[in-house]
Amino acid sequence: MRVEMKVPYALLIPRLSAGTMAAALMSAAALLVAGTALAASPAAAPAPDLAKGQVTAAVCSACHMADGSRGSPANPILAGQHPEYLVKQLQEYKAGKRKNAIMAGFAATLSEDDMRNVAAFYASKQAKPGTATDKELAAVGEKIYRGGIADRNIPACAGCHSPTGAGIPSQYPRVGGQHADYTEAQLLAFRSGARGNSIQMMQIAAKMNDREIKAVSDYINGLR
């Protein structure tokens, strides 16, 4: 006669030491966290499409020229500008952080991909050099641009925008060769508060008088 012995299920499971059990639990937790992080991380943005950017830029050409070069002095030169800066400005026009009725209306029609594409298109172009128009005024501007004004705590522009005006990608825009009229208008707007999308520039411009702003703008126009 065969007798079957029923063994408790718990006895069939190998006994693990406290250290082994803790290590296993930690590994499982790590895998869970890693999986959650991967699931939560956003997909990488597609590479900018210059051809699509050129199509979008066709609308901009009336004010900025087909290649973003030296059009009307009242409008900025976009050729060679850092794409990150251009995208930021478009985003802030769309969000209302930077005020301009024409640009706000245009930016409102753009998707994030549109902005990256058109910014990359303009960044791929070579900016044409400009020239200072007033030698004496430009000399004053050069001193401010390179050395600031110490007694009023005005920092040198070169510290952020580089000695050549090339700027720093993702942080500070290229200013070398920019239209003097446009640069002057923006500094005045920062000073008055009409342009408020850079606290740093508002604080600096607030300490500058009209002649200093005009001098720096003229110097920047010929900077390369």
Give SS3 for 100.
coil
Asked if 104 and 93 touch (Cβ cutoff 8 Å), the reply is yes
- Cα-to-chain-centroid distance, residue 186: 17
Here the tokens at position 128 are 């044409």
Please state, in angstroms and rounded to a whole number, the distance separating the CA atoms of residues 183 and 219. Answer: 10
Range ranked top by mean pLDDT from 6-20, 42-56, 136-150: 136-150
> Greater confidence, 38 or 163?
163
Structure-token pair, residue 23: 């290590």
Q: What is the rounded distance in angstroms from the CA atom of residue 57 to the CA atom of residue 51?
A: 10
Name the least confident of 27-36, 58-67, 84-93, 104-113.
27-36
Neighbours of 200 (CB within 10 A): 11
Contacts 24+ apart (CB under 8 A), 197-203: 197/89, 197/92, 197/97, 197/98
| 71-93 pLDDT per residue, tens | 899 999 999 999 999 999 999 99
Give strand pairing partners of 172. 168
Token pair recorded at residue 145: 């641009």
